[in-house]
Copies of this chain bind each other. A is one copy, B any other.
């Protein structure tokens, strides 16, 4: 039987989602706990990677195991064994045709900015930017990104080990939301490339700070070429918020 699980994690202390040699990843921790629980190695498949330091509010993974005690007891057993920085929130039995990555139709990321300085407790969870950030300009820059575009200018291939069949993605939502001194950027698309959200966030913030004219950002998008002008925002402000399935 196939289990679909959702989990949240504080990515601060992990080398990202994906298992890799000699570094502690979220996937590795969960697989380790499952192996302990089920007394055999189990491979889990995530909906996608998150980078080192990136957080998740609702990452999805699946795995196959003949667990006969129901989803609630699986969640309870995992809770007892997992570190507190990783929580499996739900486990439901799904059809064998379900695949956490290939069945996903879209994903939403949140990028959290802090206007002004971050205190020691906010620091691991946001990116502090100068308070003179122009929210109207920021909003305009976000709106210019919505739609179907070749986002090659905002993809970092180098170091990702990933080859993309296409760099065209459909961004269906690019929203700005303010909550006191925090400003959240929401990005929803049918898919994201390596460092794409952080590159988009870094760029719209540069527009909002008056460091990059909006017209240049639009030209950059049209160019479909990665440029040194595009700087990725730090990982710690980024959250995988939700994975959508049809």
Q: How many copies does the complex hold?
A: 2
Chain A 3-16, CB-CB to B under 8 Å as 1, else 0, gives: 00000111000000
Q: How many residues of A contact B (CB 8 A)?
A: 16
Question: Once the chains bind, are B55 and A85 in contact (CB under 8 Å)?
Answer: no
Task: Please choose the segment from A92-100, A120-128, A134-142 that sits at the chain B interface, where 4 or more of its residues have CB less than 8 A away.
Answer: A120-128
- Among B86, B117, B118, B119, the residue within 8 A (CB) of A120 is B86
- Among B55, B118, B119, the residue within 8 A (CB) of A121 is B55
- Among B55, B84, B118, B119, the residue within 8 A (CB) of A123 is B84
| A14 CB to nearest B CB, Å | 11
The reply on A87 being an interface residue by CB < 8 A is yes
Question: Once the chains bind, are A84 and B118 in contact (CB under 8 Å)?
Answer: yes
* Interface hits, A12-58 → B, CB 8 Å: 55
| A153 CB to nearest B CB, Å | 30
Q: Could you say which of A85, A86, A118 has the most chain B C-beta atoms within 10 Å of its C-beta? A: A85
In the assembled complex, which residues on chain B have CB atoms less than 8 Å from the CB atom of A8? Answer: 119-120
A125 to B118, CA, bound (A): 16
A123 to B117, CA, bound (A): 23
| A152 CB to nearest B CB, Å | 33
Q: Could you say which of A85, A86, A118, A121 has the most chain B C-beta atoms within 10 Å of its C-beta? A: A121
Residues of A within 8 A of B (CB): 8-10, 55, 84-87, 117-121, 123-125
Please give 14 more A-B residue pairs, beta carbons under 8 A apart, in addition to A10-B123, A10-B124: A8-B119, A8-B120, A9-B120, A10-B120, A55-B120, A55-B121, A84-B118, A84-B120, A85-B120, A85-B123, A86-B120, A87-B117, A87-B119, A121-B125
A to B CB contacts below 8 Å, 19 in the list = A8-B119, A8-B120, A9-B120, A10-B120, A10-B121, A10-B123, A10-B124, A55-B120, A55-B121, A84-B118, A84-B120, A84-B123, A85-B120, A85-B123, A86-B120, A87-B117, A87-B119, A87-B120, A121-B125
Nearest 10 CB-CB pairs, A to B?
A10-B120, A84-B123, A85-B120, A9-B120, A10-B121, A8-B120, A87-B120, A8-B119, A86-B120, A87-B119
